[in-house]
Amino acid sequence: MNLGEPPKMKQAKNIAFKISLTYVLLGVLWIILSDYFSMILAQEKLSMYIYFQRYKGWFFILVTGMVLFLLVYRRTYELILSNEKLKKKEQQLQVRNQHYHSLFEQNPDAVLELSLDGNVMYVNGEAEGLLESNHEDLKELKFSRFLDDDEMNRVKEFFFRTFKGSASTFETTVHSANGKRKIVRCSLVPIIINGEVTGMFAIARDITLYRKNEEMVIASEKLSVIGKLAAAVAHEIRNPLTSLKGFIQLMKTSNRINHDQLDIMLSEVDRIDLISGEMLILGKQQEVHFCHEELDALLRQVLVLMEVQANLDDVSIQYENTSEKTLYVLGEANQLKQVFINIIKNAVESIPDSRVGKVSITLENRGEVACIIVTDNGVGMEPERIKHLGEPFYSTKEKGTGLGLAVCHKIIARHNGQIHFKSEKEKGTAVEISLPIVEEEIGAASAH
């Protein structure tokens, strides 16, 4: 198959041909015109004609030599300038390559260069440490090799988004060559050349230890919440126990069984069982798995515990579900309960003893999100304080640590939700928690 001459060689031949043709045409034109004018000037004087003919060639050589000199000088000057510019660009390119190499190799995060089909093209030292494999071994593998099937199905969405030219960030779990599992925060950045995506960079950071510390903070705050509720729960349980004890003593004295009294006793036992059951579920250390949770059911379970403290503080709690359909969210029940308890507990504690306390909880359907709104008629806050709510160790309470709301923010962020505060001094506070709604039939997913 004849591919023909390279374009640059063909262009050079065309230029050379044009110069040669121009030189020949000028020479022919010079000979014709010089002979014509020499005959006119000589006017039949042979000596003058011979003299003119003798020196016209030298004159032609002098003139063409000067023209060629100027042309060659100009072209050579342009070539020298072009060559210098090219050298500067090469130097700049080398500097940029060194910058890129330093960014790639000295990056504290693991960086992998991937082809469009997911093959590992190049990795830095941090990536070798993260995946516990050397560069040569990784070049023979695909990135999907380090993900479970369920995780790969979830991560594919981010890959496709990157193929279209948009960067994406997500968290996932990878397993190294020796099977060790690690939680990583990963960013996919497209490699775009001449307007086309030719590959991508995967930038990953191991957050396994960070996530464990985060879980410890959440667990610690949960134990703190349970500890604060324990006194109120103990007080609430003591009341039905007193009733049970009185009925038993009455039956023992009368030696008769009263069925109405037995019904009351059973209802009191059920009340104790319900309260203690909720405390046990809340306090139990469980592995975090996201699954479908019905918000109305979660809130009603939380109210069982919170009404205990509210009664002790002489505060009434009203709950209303305004949604016409059952609202489901993808989440972890215990962590969501922890958030609701924290928010409601703060609302109850913000109401001074001198005021008739009232806390209102509303569940609303707002299209794609479900909103849980908790309002109170407490002391309220200044706008400056609202800006700092959720910061660790910032608290509006005299003996508060500020970790409660910080944990709430972290948990809701994990659930792809948001928390907003509205407050007015001496009028109360409204807390709005929004969570994305999911359909009931969608399968469960794991949290990381």
Give 360 or 411, the one with higher predicted confidence. 360
Provide, for the chain, the percentages of residues in helix, strand and coil under a 3-state DSSP scheme, each rounded to the nearest 5: 55, 20, 20
The span from the CA of 299 to the CA of 319, in Å, is: 9
Token pair, residue 142, equals 């695909």
Do 241 and 390 reside in the same domain of the chain? yes
* pTM over the 0.85 mark: no
Do 172 and 258 reside in the same domain of the chain? no
One-letter amino acid for residue 348 of the chain: V
Do 153 and 202 reside in the same domain of the chain? yes
The span from the CA of 50 to the CA of 309, in Å, is: 130
Do 121 and 55 reside in the same domain of the chain? no
Residue 1 covered by a domain: no
Do 114 and 95 reside in the same domain of the chain? no
Band of the pLDDT at 361, cuts 50, 70, 90? very high
Mean pLDDT of the chain: 76
- Confidence (pLDDT) at 387: 62
- 3-class SS at 327? coil
- Confidence (pLDDT) at 1: 45
Band of the pLDDT at 100, cuts 50, 70, 90? confident
Band of the pLDDT at 236, cuts 50, 70, 90? low
- Confidence (pLDDT) at 399: 39
Q: Which of 5-19, 176-190, 218-232, 395-409 has the lowest mean pLDDT?
A: 395-409
Of the residues 104, 133, 168, which one is the last residue of a structural domain?
A: 104
Token pair, residue 201, equals 């960079």
> The domain containing residue 257 runs over which residues?
211-446
The span from the CA of 50 to the CA of 166, in Å, is: 83
Residue 2 covered by a domain: no
- Confidence (pLDDT) at 112: 83
- Confidence (pLDDT) at 141: 67
- Kindly state the average pLDDT of the residues 106-135: 79
Do 367 and 442 reside in the same domain of the chain? yes
Of the residues 104, 131, 155, which one is the last residue of a structural domain?
A: 104
Token pair, residue 51, equals 């003299």
Surface-to-core class of residue 79, CB atoms within 10 Å of its CB (0-12 exposed, 13-18 middle, 19+ buried): exposed
Is residue 132 pLDDT above 70, yes or no? yes
54-57 contacts, C-beta under 8 A, 24 or more apart:
56/30
CATH number of the domain encompassing residue 262: 3.30.565.10
Band of the pLDDT at 374, cuts 50, 70, 90? very high
- Confidence (pLDDT) at 362: 94
Band of the pLDDT at 373, cuts 50, 70, 90? very high
- Kindly state the average pLDDT of the residues 19-23: 76
- Confidence (pLDDT) at 445: 41
Residue 217 covered by a domain: yes
- Kindly state the average pLDDT of the residues 342-361: 87
Is residue 376 pLDDT above 80, yes or no? yes
Do 91 and 168 reside in the same domain of the chain? no
The number of angstroms, rounded, from the C-alpha of 153 to the middle of its chain's C-alpha atoms is 18
Do 122 and 95 reside in the same domain of the chain? no
- Confidence (pLDDT) at 288: 60
DSSP state of 444: P
Cβ atoms of 380 and 400 within 8 Å: the answer is no
Tell me the per-residue pLDDT of 196-228, one tens digit each, with 9 for 90 and over. 888 888 888 888 777 777 667 666 666 666 665
Give 40 or 169, the one with higher predicted confidence. 169
Do 269 and 410 reside in the same domain of the chain? yes
CATH number of the domain encompassing residue 185: 3.30.450.20
- Confidence (pLDDT) at 295: 93
One-letter amino acid for residue 104 of the chain: F
Give 46 or 90, the one with higher predicted confidence. 90
Residue 86 covered by a domain: yes
DSSP state of 323: -
- Confidence (pLDDT) at 381: 78
- Confidence (pLDDT) at 443: 41
Give 299 or 121, the one with higher predicted confidence. 299
Is residue 283 pLDDT above 60, yes or no? no
Residue 193 covered by a domain: yes
Q: Which of 86-100, 238-252, 358-372 has the lowest mean pLDDT?
A: 238-252
Q: List helix spans (H) across 106-207.
A: 125-131, 135-139, 149-163
Residue 344 covered by a domain: yes
Give 68 or 389, the one with higher predicted confidence. 68
Residues 6+ apart with CB under 8 A from 247: 258, 261, 264, 265
Band of the pLDDT at 375, cuts 50, 70, 90? very high
Is residue 329 pLDDT above 80, yes or no? yes
The span from the CA of 11 to the CA of 150, in Å, is: 58
One-letter amino acid for residue 371 of the chain: C
Residue 49 covered by a domain: yes
- Tokens 């030696």 -> residue: 255
- Kindly state the average pLDDT of the residues 185-205: 86
- Kindly state the average pLDDT of the residues 71-83: 82
Overall number of domains in the chain: 3
Residue 360 covered by a domain: yes
Name the β-bridge partners of 421.
431
Residues 6+ apart with CB under 8 A from 200: 113, 114, 116, 159, 162, 163, 188, 189, 190, 191
Do 390 and 311 reside in the same domain of the chain? yes
Do 439 and 405 reside in the same domain of the chain? yes
Of the residues 175, 206, 237, which one is the last residue of a structural domain?
A: 206
Do 128 and 256 reside in the same domain of the chain? no
Is residue 276 pLDDT above 50, yes or no? yes
Is residue 405 pLDDT above 60, yes or no? yes
